[in-house]
Chain A
Amino acid sequence: EAGVAQSPRYKIIEKRQSVAFWCNPISGHATLYWYQQILGQGPKLLIQFQNNGVVDDSQLPKDRFSAERLKGVDSTLKIQPAKLEDSAVYLCASSSFAGAETQYFGPGTRLLVL
Chain B
Amino acid sequence: RKEVEQDPGPFNVPEGATVAFNCTYSNSASQSFFWYRQDCRKEPKLLMSVYSSGNEDGRFTAQLNRASQYISLLIRDSKLSDSATYLCVGTGGTSYGKLTFGQGTILTVHP
Residues of A at the B interface (CB closer than 8 Å) are 31, 33, 40-45, 48, 55-56, 58, 91, 95, 97-103, 105-108
Contacts and interface: CB of A to CB of B under 8 A. Distances in A.
A56 B94 contact: yes
Interface stretch (B13-21, B60-68, B73-81, B95-103): B95-103
19 contacts: A33-B99, A41-B103, A41-B104, A42-B103, A43-B44, A48-B95, A48-B97, A55-B96, A55-B97, A97-B97, A98-B95, A98-B97, A100-B97, A101-B32, A101-B46, A101-B49, A103-B46, A106-B43, A108-B43
Contacts of B99: 33, 43, 45, 103
Interface string B37-70: 0000011111001000000000000000000000
A45 B46 CA distance: 16
User: How many interface residues does chain B have, given as a range?
Assistant: 20 to 34
Q: Is the interface of A mostly helix, strand, loop or mixed?
A: loop
Contacts of B95: 48, 55-56, 58, 98
A31 to B, nearest CB: 6
A55 B95 CA distance: 7
A42 B102 contact: yes
Contacts of B45: 105
A63 to B, nearest CB: 21
Contacts of A107: 42-43
Nearest to B93: A56
Contacts of B71: none
